[in-house]
Protein backbone atom coordinates (compact mmCIF):
# COMPACT_ATOMS: atom_id res chain seq x y z
CA UNK A 1 0.00 0.00 0.00
CA UNK A 2 1.50 3.31 -1.02
CA UNK A 3 1.32 6.64 0.79
CA UNK A 4 -1.59 7.99 -1.28
CA UNK A 5 -3.85 5.00 -0.63
CA UNK A 6 -3.36 5.04 3.14
CA UNK A 7 -3.95 8.78 3.33
CA UNK A 8 -6.97 8.54 1.01
CA UNK A 9 -8.62 5.98 3.27
CA UNK A 10 -8.56 8.55 6.09
CA UNK A 11 -10.23 11.23 3.95
CA UNK A 12 -6.94 12.97 3.10
CA UNK A 13 -5.05 12.97 -0.16
CA UNK A 14 -1.39 13.70 -0.59
CA UNK A 15 -0.42 16.23 -3.21
CA UNK A 16 2.68 16.01 -5.36
CA UNK A 17 4.57 18.17 -2.89
CA UNK A 18 3.53 15.98 0.05
CA UNK A 19 1.10 18.52 1.60
CA UNK A 20 -2.21 17.26 2.99
CA UNK A 21 -5.37 18.35 1.16
CA UNK A 22 -8.86 17.61 2.40
CA UNK A 23 -11.16 15.32 0.50
CA UNK A 24 -13.97 17.25 -1.22
CA UNK A 25 -16.53 14.96 0.44
CA UNK A 26 -15.19 15.74 3.92
CA UNK A 27 -16.92 18.74 5.49
CA UNK A 28 -15.69 20.36 8.67
CA UNK A 29 -18.03 21.60 11.38
CA UNK A 30 -17.18 25.22 10.56
CA UNK A 31 -18.14 24.71 6.89
CA UNK A 32 -21.35 22.91 7.86
CA UNK A 33 -22.22 25.64 10.37
CA UNK A 34 -21.61 28.42 7.83
CA UNK A 35 -24.30 27.05 5.50
CA UNK A 36 -27.13 27.13 8.03
CA UNK A 37 -28.60 29.41 10.73
CA UNK A 38 -26.61 27.81 13.53
CA UNK A 39 -26.39 30.69 16.03
CA UNK A 40 -29.97 31.94 15.51
CA UNK A 41 -31.25 28.38 15.91
CA UNK A 42 -29.18 27.97 19.06
CA UNK A 43 -30.63 31.18 20.51
CA UNK A 44 -34.13 29.85 19.79
CA UNK A 45 -33.27 26.51 21.44
CA UNK A 46 -32.06 28.31 24.57
CA UNK A 47 -35.27 30.36 24.59
CA UNK A 48 -37.35 27.18 24.40
CA UNK A 49 -35.43 25.66 27.29
CA UNK A 50 -35.98 28.81 29.36
CA UNK A 51 -39.71 28.63 28.57
CA UNK A 52 -40.02 24.97 29.53
CA UNK A 53 -37.86 25.11 32.69
CA UNK A 54 -40.30 26.73 35.19
CA UNK A 55 -43.22 24.69 33.90
CA UNK A 56 -41.20 21.48 34.15
CA UNK A 57 -40.20 22.32 37.72
CA UNK A 58 -43.87 22.91 38.58
CA UNK A 59 -44.95 19.62 37.01
CA UNK A 60 -42.22 17.65 38.82
CA UNK A 61 -42.98 19.12 42.26
CA UNK A 62 -46.78 19.46 42.14
CA UNK A 63 -49.22 16.78 43.14
CA UNK A 64 -51.53 15.17 40.59
CA UNK A 65 -54.40 17.56 41.35
CA UNK A 66 -52.28 20.71 41.09
CA UNK A 67 -50.65 19.68 37.81
CA UNK A 68 -53.84 20.52 35.86
CA UNK A 69 -52.78 24.16 35.85
CA UNK A 70 -52.23 26.23 32.73
CA UNK A 71 -48.55 26.37 33.67
CA UNK A 72 -48.14 22.76 32.55
CA UNK A 73 -48.70 23.94 28.96
CA UNK A 74 -45.28 25.57 29.19
CA UNK A 75 -43.52 22.23 28.78
CA UNK A 76 -44.93 21.42 25.32
CA UNK A 77 -44.72 25.09 24.34
CA UNK A 78 -41.02 25.20 25.22
CA UNK A 79 -40.48 21.86 23.51
CA UNK A 80 -42.04 23.22 20.31
CA UNK A 81 -39.74 26.25 20.39
CA UNK A 82 -36.73 23.93 20.86
CA UNK A 83 -38.02 21.76 18.00
CA UNK A 84 -38.36 24.82 15.74
CA UNK A 85 -34.78 25.84 16.57
CA UNK A 86 -33.36 22.39 15.87
CA UNK A 87 -35.35 22.12 12.65
CA UNK A 88 -34.08 25.52 11.51
CA UNK A 89 -30.52 24.29 11.94
CA UNK A 90 -31.13 20.98 10.20
CA UNK A 91 -33.42 22.27 7.41
CA UNK A 92 -32.21 25.79 6.50
CA UNK A 93 -34.56 26.04 3.52
CA UNK A 94 -37.53 26.33 5.93
CA UNK A 95 -36.19 29.27 7.94
CA UNK A 96 -38.92 31.78 7.14
CA UNK A 97 -41.75 29.56 8.42
CA UNK A 98 -39.75 28.33 11.42
CA UNK A 99 -38.83 31.88 12.38
CA UNK A 100 -42.51 32.87 12.47
CA UNK A 101 -43.34 29.76 14.50
CA UNK A 102 -40.60 30.63 17.00
CA UNK A 103 -41.83 34.21 17.35
CA UNK A 104 -45.49 33.22 17.83
CA UNK A 105 -44.76 30.44 20.33
CA UNK A 106 -42.41 32.66 22.30
CA UNK A 107 -45.09 35.35 22.45
CA UNK A 108 -47.60 32.77 23.67
CA UNK A 109 -45.21 31.83 26.45
CA UNK A 110 -46.04 35.15 28.13
CA UNK A 111 -49.65 34.00 28.57
CA UNK A 112 -48.72 30.52 29.79
CA UNK A 113 -45.57 30.82 31.92
CA UNK A 114 -44.99 34.59 31.89
CA UNK A 115 -42.21 34.32 29.33
CA UNK A 116 -40.16 31.65 31.06
CA UNK A 117 -37.34 32.34 33.49
CA UNK A 118 -37.55 36.12 34.16
CA UNK A 119 -38.83 36.74 30.60
CA UNK A 120 -35.60 35.20 29.31
CA UNK A 121 -37.46 32.56 27.29
CA UNK A 122 -39.69 35.18 25.70
CA UNK A 123 -36.73 37.39 24.80
CA UNK A 124 -34.39 34.62 23.57
CA UNK A 125 -37.10 32.72 21.72
CA UNK A 126 -38.40 35.85 20.03
CA UNK A 127 -34.93 37.11 19.14
CA UNK A 128 -33.95 33.69 17.82
CA UNK A 129 -37.15 33.55 15.77
CA UNK A 130 -36.44 36.97 14.26
CA UNK A 131 -32.84 35.99 13.48
CA UNK A 132 -33.93 32.68 11.93
CA UNK A 133 -36.57 34.50 9.85
CA UNK A 134 -34.01 37.07 8.63
CA UNK A 135 -31.28 34.52 7.87
CA UNK A 136 -30.22 34.11 4.25
CA UNK A 137 -27.83 31.52 2.86
CA UNK A 138 -24.29 32.71 2.09
CA UNK A 139 -23.82 34.19 -1.35
CA UNK A 140 -21.47 31.41 -2.49
CA UNK A 141 -23.89 28.57 -1.78
CA UNK A 142 -27.06 27.92 -3.71
CA UNK A 143 -29.79 26.72 -1.38
CA UNK A 144 -32.41 24.61 -3.13
CA UNK A 145 -35.95 25.86 -2.83
CA UNK A 146 -38.46 23.52 -1.16
CA UNK A 147 -40.00 21.26 -3.74
CA UNK A 148 -37.29 21.81 -6.33
CA UNK A 149 -35.70 18.53 -7.29
CA UNK A 150 -33.43 17.76 -10.18
CA UNK A 151 -34.94 15.27 -12.57
CA UNK A 152 -33.00 13.48 -15.22
Find the length of the chain. 152
Q: What pLDDT was estimated at residue 72?
A: 82
For residues 138 and 128, the model is more confident at 128
110-131: burial string, b at 16+ Cβ within 10 Å, e else: eebbbbbbeebbbbbbbbbbbb
Q: What pLDDT was estimated at residue 62?
A: 78
DSSP string, the chain: --HHHHHHTTTEEE-TTS-EEE-TT---HHHHHHTTTHHHHHHHHHHHHHHHHHHHHHHHHS-TTGGGSGGGGHHHHHHHHHHHHHHHHH-GGGHHHHHHHHHHHHHHHHHHHTTTGGGHHHHHHHHHHHHHHH----TTS-PPPTT-----
For residues 125 and 11, the model is more confident at 125
Which of 62, 149, 17, 46 is closest to 106 using CA atoms?
46
Give 81's pLDDT tier (boundaries 50, 70, 90): very high
Q: What pLDDT was estimated at residue 8?
A: 43
Q: What pLDDT was estimated at residue 11?
A: 45
Q: Is the pLDDT of residue 96 over 90?
A: yes
Q: Is the pLDDT of residue 86 over 90?
A: yes
Q: Is the pLDDT of residue 113 over 60?
A: yes
For residues 25 and 100, the model is more confident at 100
Q: Is the pLDDT of residue 2 over 60?
A: no
Amino acid sequence: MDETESAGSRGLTMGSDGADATDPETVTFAEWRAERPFWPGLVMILGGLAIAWPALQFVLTASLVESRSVVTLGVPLGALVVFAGVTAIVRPERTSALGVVGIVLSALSFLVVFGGVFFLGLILGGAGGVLVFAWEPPAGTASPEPGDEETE
